[in-house]
């Protein structure tokens, strides 16, 4: 018997395809299963079977086996992949294909958004990278893939744009370069774009990934050789506005009033009959609120 191999998503599908193509029925065909189909993290493994007619059965003229083609679009395949990924990660989430014209846009709705977004979008960026790899499998031209979770990227872009404007004003006011925290390429592009048309400042990226950061440089830079100050170091910005210059040594109580320094050597003499041998004694009940520790069995001294 001459066996012919057929494939399908499942063994049943592969057998059905083979019987139809060979013009056989299950009763007059000999079937051997080579591999059962199964799903994997990246794609799936097809089922493989071999089919041959039993002795004495004639086979109708057949054409070459046709290769199965997927009717799903790149975006649909990516959504299917993400749904499987979330199941593996035990994340309760729903995916929606928003658009796939110029780019594939997918929105994720999750019971716990932090599990999908992660710290500063790190988890969401990792998911987007995997989604991009799946969507572009077999494509000659790369197609951009954007995965968002409940408008996180839009809100993050608005936050970074506002931050860029504030830091640009600060750099101009101080006449110093300002260094931002390390950011991923996507967030650095947002800062660059926000300040590209702003007069009086320029931006440049420095460092190596994953610690590459962005520096804002004002045109009125006082000392080009001076290192950039961190964006978070508000280092007496108040002094630059004309106040907050009091001597730190004079700060004692509220309103800048001096307070007598505490003298650890000042000790009161222990009351007679208290049994104390030294140290700071308890004040009288008139100006001391606390817990009485002692013999409470004497009603007169309660």
pLDDT (mean) for 2-21: 88
28 inside domain: yes
Contact yes or no for 184/125 (Cβ under 8 A): yes
CATH number of residue 100's parent domain? 3.30.300.20
On whether both 144 and 169 belong to a single domain, the answer is no
- Return all residues near 254 (Cβ < 8 A) that are at least 6 apart: none
Q: Which of 240, 257, 274 is the last residue of a domain?
A: 240
Taking each helix axis as running N to C, give the angle between helix 152-174 and helix 185-195, from 0 to 180 degrees, rounded to the nearest 10: 50
137 inside domain: yes
pTM confidence score: 0.51
On whether both 125 and 173 belong to a single domain, the answer is no
From the DSSP assignment, how many helices (H) and strands (E) are in the chain?
A: 7, 12
On whether both 34 and 80 belong to a single domain, the answer is no
At 62-83, the pLDDT tens digits run: 444 444 446 789 999 999 999 9
On whether both 92 and 143 belong to a single domain, the answer is yes
pLDDT greater than 70 at residue 217: yes
C-alpha 165/C-alpha 182 separation (Å) is 18
User: Average pLDDT of the chain?
Assistant: 78
On whether both 161 and 224 belong to a single domain, the answer is yes
Q: Please give the residue range of the domain that contains residue 228.
A: 154-240
105 inside domain: yes
59 inside domain: no
Q: What's the confidence (pLDDT) of residue 256?
A: 47
On whether both 45 and 82 belong to a single domain, the answer is no
Q: Which of 124, 150, 176 is the last residue of a domain?
A: 150
206 inside domain: yes
On whether both 230 and 190 belong to a single domain, the answer is yes
| Closest C-alpha to 180, from 225, 141, 211 | 211
Q: What's the confidence (pLDDT) of residue 284?
A: 43
Quote the radius of gyration of the chain (alpha carbons, Å).
37
Q: What's the confidence (pLDDT) of residue 272?
A: 54
Q: Which of 222, 240, 258 is the last residue of a domain?
A: 240
3-state class percentages of the chain: helix first, strand second, coil last, to nearest 5 = 30, 20, 50
Dihedral-angle region of residue 150 (phi above 0 means left; psi in -120 to 50 means alpha; beta otherwise): left
pLDDT greater than 90 at residue 136: yes
On whether both 160 and 228 belong to a single domain, the answer is yes
pLDDT greater than 80 at residue 296: no
On whether both 145 and 160 belong to a single domain, the answer is no
Distances (CA, A) of 81 to 47, 116, 132, 167: 19, 15, 11, 40
On whether both 164 and 229 belong to a single domain, the answer is yes
On whether both 228 and 160 belong to a single domain, the answer is yes
Structural domains counted in the chain? 3
Q: From the CB of residue 35, how many other CB atoms can be counted at a distance below 10 Å?
A: 13
CATH number of residue 161's parent domain? 3.30.1370.50
């Amino acid at each position: 018997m001459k066996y012919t191999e057929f494939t399908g998503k499942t063994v049943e599908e592969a057998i059905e395809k083979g019987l139809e193509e060979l013009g056989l029925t299950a009763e007059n065909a000999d079937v051997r299963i080579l591999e059962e189909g199964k799903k994997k993290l990246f794609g799936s493994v097809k089922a493989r079977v071999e089919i041959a007619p039993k002795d004495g059965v004639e086979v109708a003229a057949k054409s070459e086996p046709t290769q199965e083609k997927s009717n799903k679009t790149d975006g649909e395949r990516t959504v299917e992949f993400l749904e499987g990924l979330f199941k593996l990660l035990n994340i309760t989430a729903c995916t929606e294909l928003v658009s796939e014209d110029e780019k594939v846009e997918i929105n994720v709705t999750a019971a716990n958004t932090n599990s999908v977004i992660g710290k500063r979008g790190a988890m969401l960026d990792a998911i987007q990278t995997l989604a991009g790899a799946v969507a572009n499998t077999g494509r000659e031209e790369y197609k951009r893939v954007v995965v968002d979770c409940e408008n996180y990227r839009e809100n993050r872009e608005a936050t970074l744009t506002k931050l860029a404007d504030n830091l640009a004003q600060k750099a101009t006011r101080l006449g110093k370069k300002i260094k931002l925290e390390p950011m991923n390429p996507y967030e650095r592009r947002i800062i660059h774009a926000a300040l590209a048309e702003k007069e009086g400042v320029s931006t440049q990226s420095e460092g190596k990934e994953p610690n590459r950061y962005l520096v804002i440089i004002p045109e009125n830079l006082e000392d080009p050789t001076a290192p950039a100050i961190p964006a978070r170091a508000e280092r007496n910005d108040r002094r630059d506005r004309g106040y907050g210059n009091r001597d730190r040594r004079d700060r004692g109580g509220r309103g800048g009033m001096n307070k007598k320094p505490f003298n650890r050597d000042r000790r009161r003499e222990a009351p007679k009959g208290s049994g104390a041998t030294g140290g700071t004694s308890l004040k009288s009940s008139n100006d001391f609120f606390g817990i009485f520790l002692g013999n409470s069995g004497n009603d007169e001294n309660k």
